[in-house]
Amino acid sequence: MADKQAVSFGLLLPTREMVMNQERPDFRQLIALAERAEEMGFDSVWVGDSILARPRLEAFTTLAAIASRTQRVKLGTAVLLSALRHPVLLANEAANLDLLSAGRVILGLGIATKTPSTQAEFAACGVNFGRRIGIFEEGVTLMRRLWTEQSVTFAGRHFRLDNVRLGLRPYQATGIPIWLAGSVDNALRRVARLGDGWFPNPPSPQVFREQWQQLLTFGRDLGKEMQQVHRAIYTTLNINSDVSQAEQEMRTFIEGYYHTPFDSMRRLQSICFGTPDTCVAWLNEFIDAGTQTIVLRFGSPDQFGQLERCAQDVLARVHRA
């Protein structure tokens, strides 16, 4: 088991759901949800990323707007497909957001699952999908260097820089924390090599525990101390004393979002629905397995109601340390 530390909670904002369900997304609702999450004690707010495959409000401009209306919450991406952006541009934009928010940014990054829609998305953006992993890894390396070094010269397989100095440096002097998604062996090896944090979406606390042990093994193979890697998860909840209604709302949400049968997604992702007691137990099991940050997404049309119910009936009862 991982060492116990204080646990933080984040809210994934419904940037895709708004685009799916509103002809002209009402951004005021999103700002109000972020503000309410901060008022209710959430530690962070997060946004997803997709340009074409699963259209949603753009990540950095959305977080910039939220930064201007909040004071305390961390601002994260869950997760950003960084290979779609040139690392010099992405490093500059992320540094700007970090400055604007006085150092509240966390970059959750992923490589994208292989589906026809994501392959088409990469092609439309001019990025070779088959080379995305190498592009991703070089990009992470370059961003770290651009944030912390006076100038960067680099000759890689995908990028070449000659004495490049980033004009904007992050507010965080050591650079912006990078949490990497993924749970298969190669993804875990990538976390061990490149990540400040690990950010999976495991279908159960037991799976999380097993994958963490695997990550520790990969870290030992590299001679790295993995206890310094922050352990986060992403989970989807629907809290309702009417369990049948909770299940129906969750099914509708997941199948509408992914266009995939609910039972299939449930085997792949972290999903919990039911009474407050059920959700408390679910989160506590992840905490007992060593999770340090839990980012919550609500599988419900009533985002504000779920937020209130979660804060009052669930988070008040979980193990905070």
Q: Give 166-222 pLDDT, tens digit per residue.
A: 999 999 999 999 999 999 999 999 999 999 999 999 999 999 999 999 999 999 999
Q: What is the pLDDT of residue 321?
A: 62
Tell me the average pLDDT across 315-319: 93
Tell me the average pLDDT across 13-22: 96
Quote the CA–CA distance of 184 and 195 in Å, as a whole number: 15
Domain-wise residue ranges, the chain: 8-235+285-301
Q: What is the pLDDT of residue 1?
A: 43
Q: Residue 237: is it exposed, middle or buried by C-beta count within 10 angstroms (0-12/13-18/19+)?
A: buried
320 pLDDT band, cuts 50/70/90, is confident
3-state secondary structure of 207: helix
Centre a 10 Å sphere on the Cβ of residue 5 and count the other Cβ atoms it contains. 14
Contacts of 67 (CB under 8 A, 6+ apart): 75, 97, 100, 101, 104
Read off the pLDDT of residues 40-70 as tens digits, 9 standing for 90 and up.
999 999 999 999 999 999 999 999 999 999 9
pTM attached to this predicted model? 0.97
Tell me the average pLDDT across 108-116: 96
Centre a 10 Å sphere on the Cβ of residue 118 and count the other Cβ atoms it contains. 20
The answer, yes or no, to whether residue 309 has pLDDT greater than 60, is yes
Residues 4 and 272: beta-carbon distance below 8 Å: no
Tell me the average pLDDT across 146-172: 97
Q: Tell me phi and psi for residue 303, to 5 degrees.
A: -65, -40
Q: pLDDT over 90 for what percent of the chain?
A: 97
Q: Over the chain, what is the mean pLDDT?
A: 96
Read off the pLDDT of residues 247-299 as tens digits, 9 standing for 90 and up.
999 999 999 999 999 999 999 999 999 999 999 999 999 999 999 999 999 99
Residues 136 and 143: beta-carbon distance below 8 Å: no
The answer, yes or no, to whether residue 82 has pLDDT greater than 80, is yes
The answer, yes or no, to whether residue 3 has pLDDT greater than 60, is no
Domain 8-235+285-301 coded CATH 3.20.20.30: yes
Q: What is the pLDDT of residue 319?
A: 84
Q: Cα Rg for the chain, rounded, in angstroms?
A: 19
Quote the CA–CA distance of 175 and 290 in Å, as a whole number: 25
Instruction: Using the Cα atoms of residue 207, residue 201, residue 268 and residue 131 in order, give the sign of their dihedral.
Output: negative
Tell me the average pLDDT across 108-119: 96
Per-residue burial over 137-149, b if 16 or more Cβ lie within 10 Å, else e, is: bbbbbbbbbbbee
The token pair that represents 172 in the structure block: 């965080």
The answer, yes or no, to whether residue 2 has pLDDT greater than 70, is no
Q: pLDDT over 70 for what percent of the chain?
A: 98
